[in-house]
Structure 1
Amino acid sequence: MTAMLANRLIRYADLLPCKNAFVDTRSPGSDQKENFTLIGPGVSENPNQHVHIPEPHGFNIGGARQPPRCLNSQHSHETAEVFVVHKGRWRMIFGVNADEGDVTMEEGDVISIPIHMFRGFENIGEETGFLFAVLGGDDPGKVTWSPRVFDLAKQYGLVLLEGGRLVDTTVGESVPPGAKLQQPPSAAEIARLATPPREALASCVLKPKQFAVNPRSPLAREGVEEAAIITPQATGDGFAPGPIKGWWPHGFNLRCLRLESGAFVPPHIRNEEEVIFVHRGVLQLATPQGEVILGPGDTFTTPKGVPRGFRASSSNGVAAYVVRGGDSPAMPSFLS
């Protein structure tokens, strides 16, 4: 594998976490969470957050790892936030006070949470869990926290500045002269971030059996299926809108690529960003620059315009989640 390919590969075992990425990370019940920024700047409030691949993709890739009973506090995003449950059992919680509904998610499930609403999430399983995350846009903006988060942060020495920078007074950091503190959202702002009706939120969650397998996918062949998860509009490579379309912008498609053991997709070229996250099995990815072997939890961003082919080399086959850039990915070009 060349250095170019190695620099585009993020092994699950090599993920570098930030344990104080946000203003809620000392709040009781939230102090054991780990946040990861895989591709793009993300929304971390800590300038020391490690970014594995800074190259702009039009979307951001991140992750959250939490032990049992660990909670991510109520907050709102300015762009799309999508979670794939890789490990564990999770509860997604809605509303500024965490009392406006919830949904339980198992391994392989996907949720796309609408912008401009409060959400939090808790690992309710018995083992450490991991969420693979996609955020819309090159700049996903800053997080809006519920008022309770600010109250707790003050007790534990964390201060959030306007613009989203975190100051940790317990390690000797101080608020810069003239800096303005981020204020909790007003009643009017909270009203603007109201939780959508339950039936609307239900359309934002999918289990693997609900993924829309597309027999006309250009990747489909014996032992290979590509299923739509998030498709905002009809695409150039033959996918109809849905199952998750969203009434807010995404700027990317999310697919599930499943291969039976030994099945393969021949070399082809795409001209949009393609990020592959392996959920189950071992995927061989072949390029003219060499081969990449991806195992569960590994992430790879394929260079645009570079031929790539896939093969499942594990006895239980492969299930991978693929993020494709843009609302309408084009038809790939297969090599003769």
Structure 2
Amino acid sequence: MSLKERTVRYDELKACMTAFIDTRSPGSDKKENFTIIGPGVAENPEQHVHIGIPHGFNIGGARQPAGCLNSQHSHLTEEVFLVHTGKWDFMSGVAGKDGRITLSAGDVISIPTDIFRGFECIEGLLDGQHKGLGYLHAVLGKDDPGRVLWTPDVFDLATEYGLVLLADGSLVDTNKGQTIPDNSVPMPVTSKEQIATHRIVNSKDLIDIVLHKDDFSWQSDTLMSQFDGVEEASLVGLASPKEHIKASKLNWSHGFVMRAVKLQSNALIQAHTRSEEEVIFVHKGSLTMKVDNEAIMLSEGDNFSTPIGSVRDFENTGKEDCIVYITRRGDVPEVPTFI
């Protein structure tokens, strides 16, 4: 796979507006869903997958206008959201009324498997090409993150609007004349027993799974931040003594880590290799990477999947700080090898 194919530009994302069972439910019908790395959890086979190479985690995205809701559900793996743009509310509980917390651009939330969650964009961008829209960068654990478990009311609304979720996780759209195949059956509505395996989490509890950008523990003594004008913060993951990384507040096992790296203007992280693929997401500013002597310029909202073993360096050639969020496989990834 070429480096160009490993680069997913924000302005070239291919959205699916009919990815899930709640696609036509009032208030949820303007969602754009993106599957950037891995199969994701979309229920519509028409969902475009940008990069199919297994990474040990999945990367996705959601773009929604203010007032647009993603219905209550849970996952089989940890789900981490970074608010890239806009302001978002996250709600817990079967009815979305147990707890609520607001996140702004740069904030991170890690939602464990046993919590029903929904989210709503409450404020989009104030200007620009995507005025009125907010964007979430999402990470789900494992190569196969499994299927979504929806709350019972989601099934009821979907039926009203012609959508049937099958037991294999795919959608049938009866409004388009589709019928349930002979060898398939509808997904059973989530039972009381399934609901009982989920925790009741209030607004105070949600604070424990959120890391606001103003609370990042920036370090300048890690292997990646040993260079002038560079800082690194652990956002999701355990301590890594070999990298001199402190544990994040969100320090339980995810099967992946997320780190933030900040580069001042003209800062350079020298050439190095890694033993696992890493995904670079540009949250602020721009980043110039040199990967195996090929230069790549990344802008806000872009994703880049760096191949295992490739020699790479990071440089901020812009005038403003650059902040990137980096995801790597494993609870404690291998240390970088500087060339």
Q: Say yes or no: does 1:82 pair with 2:86.
A: no
Asked if 2 retains the 8 angstrom alpha-carbon contact of 1:235 and 1:328, the reply is no
CA distance in 2, matches of 1:312, 1:195: 44
What is the letter of the counterpart of residue 282 of structure 1?
A: S
CA distance in 2, matches of 1:299, 1:140: 20
* Partner deviation per Cα, 1:29-68 (whole Å, 9 max, x = no partner): 0000010000000000011110000000000000000011
CA distance in 1, matches of 2:317, 2:176: 48
CA distance in 2, matches of 1:139, 1:48: 18
What's 1:223 paired with? 229
Asked if 1 retains the 8 angstrom alpha-carbon contact of 2:99 and 2:206, the reply is no
Deviation at 1:325, TM superposition (A): 1.2
Change (3 A) 1:18 1:81: same
5+ unaligned residues in a row in structure 2: which ranges? 125-131
Deviation at 1:160, TM superposition (A): 0.2
Deviation at 1:215, TM superposition (A): 2.8
Q: Say yes or no: does 1:292 pair with 2:296.
A: yes
| Aligned pairs (5 A) from 1:165-184 | 165-184=170-189
What is the letter of the counterpart of residue 322 of structure 1?
A: I
Deviation at 1:251, TM superposition (A): 0.5
Q: Say yes or no: does 1:14 pair with 2:12.
A: yes
What's 2:127 paired with? none
* Partner deviation per Cα, 1:231-286 (whole Å, 9 max, x = no partner): 1354542323222113xx41011000100011110101111121000011010001
CA distance in 2, matches of 1:86, 1:160: 30
CA distance in 2, matches of 1:214, 1:195: 35
5+ unaligned residues in a row in structure 1: which ranges? none
Q: Say yes or no: does 1:324 pair with 2:324.
A: no
CA distance in 2, matches of 1:32, 1:232: 37
Deviation at 1:199, TM superposition (A): 4.6
Asked if 2 retains the 8 angstrom alpha-carbon contact of 1:281 and 1:314, the reply is yes
Deviation at 1:195, TM superposition (A): 2.7
What is the letter of the counterpart of residue 183 of structure 1?
A: P
CA distance in 2, matches of 1:239, 1:96: 37
RMSD: 1.3
TM-score scaled by structure 2?
0.95
Asked if 1 retains the 8 angstrom alpha-carbon contact of 2:99 and 2:201, the reply is no
What's 1:212 paired with? 217
What's 2:265 paired with? 261
* Partner deviation per Cα, 1:158-178 (whole Å, 9 max, x = no partner): 000012111111112110013
What's 1:195 paired with? 200
What is the letter of the counterpart of residue 293 of structure 1?
A: M
Runs ≥4 residues deviating over 3 A: 196-200, 232-236
> Which of 62, 65, 68 lines up with 1:67 in the alignment?
65
CA distance in 2, matches of 1:80, 1:148: 23
Asked if 2 retains the 8 angstrom alpha-carbon contact of 1:222 and 1:263, the reply is yes
> Which of 32, 41, 44 lines up with 1:43 in the alignment?
41
> Which of 241, 247, 256 lines up with 1:241 in the alignment?
247
- SS of structure 2 residue aligned to 1:212: coil
What's 1:282 paired with? 286
- SS of structure 2 residue aligned to 1:310: strand
- SS of structure 1 residue aligned to 2:254: coil
What is the letter of the counterpart of residue 99 of structure 1?
A: K
- SS of structure 2 residue aligned to 1:4: coil
TM-score scaled by structure 1?
0.96
Deviates more, 1:209-218 or 1:23-32: 209-218
Asked if 2 retains the 8 angstrom alpha-carbon contact of 1:65 and 1:131, the reply is yes
CA distance in 1, matches of 2:156, 2:239: 42
- SS of structure 2 residue aligned to 1:214: coil
Deviates more, 1:58-67 or 1:167-176: 167-176
Q: Percent identity?
A: 47
CA distance in 1, matches of 2:327, 2:108: 13
* Partner deviation per Cα, 1:276-304 (whole Å, 9 max, x = no partner): 00011010001224111000000001011
Q: Say yes or no: does 1:271 pair with 2:275.
A: yes
- SS of structure 2 residue aligned to 1:189: helix
What's 1:144 paired with? 149
Deviation at 1:143, TM superposition (A): 0.3
What's 1:4 paired with? 2
CA distance in 2, matches of 1:143, 1:56: 20
Count of matched residue pairs? 331
- SS of structure 2 residue aligned to 1:74: strand
